[in-house]
Structure 1
Amino acid sequence: ACAPFRRLSLCNRNLVKMDTNNYSKAKHDLLAEVCLAAKFEGESIKTHYTPHEQTNRDTKSQLCTVLARSFADIGDIIRGKDLYLGNKKKMKKIEKKKKENKLKEYFEKIYNSLESSIKSQYDDEANNFFQLREDWWEANRKEVWKALTCDDDKKLRDASYFRATCIDRNERGQSQATKQCRCDKDK
């Protein structure tokens, strides 16, 4: 399987270059590196999407959808569910293994820094740390979404989804994510 175009810059930027030598910093460094990769990914998508939007005026809401798909890709990569296989010019198995090993190293460092009472929740004979990866993603996904939808250049100021995706401020019903593809309470 080939990676969608939206994945190329994400996987070739920070996720390969992460430093895993200092386990006490691993948890925070992982979040910083993933957020930085997400920010670059969001900027790349917004930049390439803008010319498409100019010729397809009725696609305003689709920018949020493209960002959401990229966000799902990031989550899959972090959780070890769907790793990018690598550039066609390089050996795919080596690229995949390199990224997989880098993430395993990060999660091993995080695992080793946990208290023993918590470690038992994440025991994994194969040292894939899938449950720890799931929990890390769940705890940090909001920050990654904020990084992906960072709007310093104001390209997302009017971006919204085509349907309701949020719980409204009063938590009584659904509302539409408007401005930066974010729910009102997350802006």
Structure 2
Amino acid sequence: DIGDIVRGRDLYSGNNKEKKQRKKLDENLKDIFGDIYKELTSSRNGKNVKTLQARYNDESGNYYQLREDWWALNRDQVWKAITCDADTGNAYFRPTCNSGDKKGPSQANHYCRCGNDQPGNDKANVDPPTYFDYVPQYLR
């Protein structure tokens, strides 16, 4: 759902208090991505300016394409930040790792990622799945 919020696709409307907070968050995201757009399309980026303007210009000020591209590039870092900073007793994340004890999947709570993958000792394809943004929100 974080990806949906960042990309401006969140379907959850919630109660009135939640709606106000969501609207404020969305306005902040518009400002943030507006600043990113201005930086990307500044003259410092040389000959890519016209290409970037054509790709990311959004008259509505929502910058949906820029949000999509930003999320595609940063989703793994957001996932790592969420999972590595979670308290060890936090059970928000469902079991995804093979514990090796033939009891089925377990949570990656000792090293924040599956397979004892630790920062600086990255192993291929052992991070928890981040496939939820490919499933439509109403089906999650």
User: How does the TM-score come out when normalised to structure 2?
Assistant: 0.55
Answering whether residue 73 of structure 2 is matched by residue 145 of structure 1, we say no
- In 1: Cα distance, 2:67 partner to 2:32 partner: 10
Structure with higher RCO (Cα < 8 A, 6+ apart): 1
Answering whether residue 22 of structure 2 is matched by residue 96 of structure 1, we say yes
Answering whether residue 55 of structure 2 is matched by residue 121 of structure 1, we say yes
Deviation at 1:82, TM superposition (A): 0.4
Residues 84 and 113 in structure 2, CA contact (< 8 A), matched pair in contact too: no
- In 1: Cα distance, 2:55 partner to 2:95 partner: 39
User: How does the TM-score come out when normalised to structure 1?
Assistant: 0.43
Distance 1:99 1:160, change over 3 A: same
- In 2: Cα distance, 1:149 partner to 1:102 partner: 24
- In 1: Cα distance, 2:9 partner to 2:81 partner: 21
- In 2: Cα distance, 1:91 partner to 1:151 partner: 25
Q: Number of matched residues?
A: 99
Worse-superposed segment, 73-82 or 144-153: 144-153
Alignment match, 1:79? 7
- In 2: Cα distance, 1:136 partner to 1:107 partner: 9
- In 2: Cα distance, 1:98 partner to 1:91 partner: 10
| 1:1-187 alignment runs, 5 A limit | 73-82=1-10, 85=13, 88=15, 90=17, 92=19, 94-115=20-41, 116-117=49-50, 118-150=52-84, 153-155=87-89, 160-161=95-96, 179=108, 180-182=112-114, 184-185=123-124
Residues 83 and 96 in structure 1, CA contact (< 8 A), matched pair in contact too: no
- In 1: Cα distance, 2:31 partner to 2:73 partner: 19
- In 1: Cα distance, 2:71 partner to 2:114 partner: 18
Post-superposition Cα deviations, 1:47-86, rounded to whole Å, max 9, x if no partner, equal: xxxxxxxxxxxxxxxxxxxxxxxxxx11010000006546
Q: Which has the higher helix share?
A: 1
Amino acid at match of 1:130: Y
Residues 7 and 64 in structure 2, CA contact (< 8 A), matched pair in contact too: yes
Deviation at 1:127, TM superposition (A): 1.4
Amino acid at match of 1:161: T
Q: Percent identity?
A: 42
- In 2: Cα distance, 1:114 partner to 1:150 partner: 30
Distance 1:114 1:144, change over 3 A: same
Residues 149 and 181 in structure 1, CA contact (< 8 A), matched pair in contact too: yes
Worse-superposed segment, 76-85 or 131-140: 76-85
Residues 97 and 107 in structure 2, CA contact (< 8 A), matched pair in contact too: no
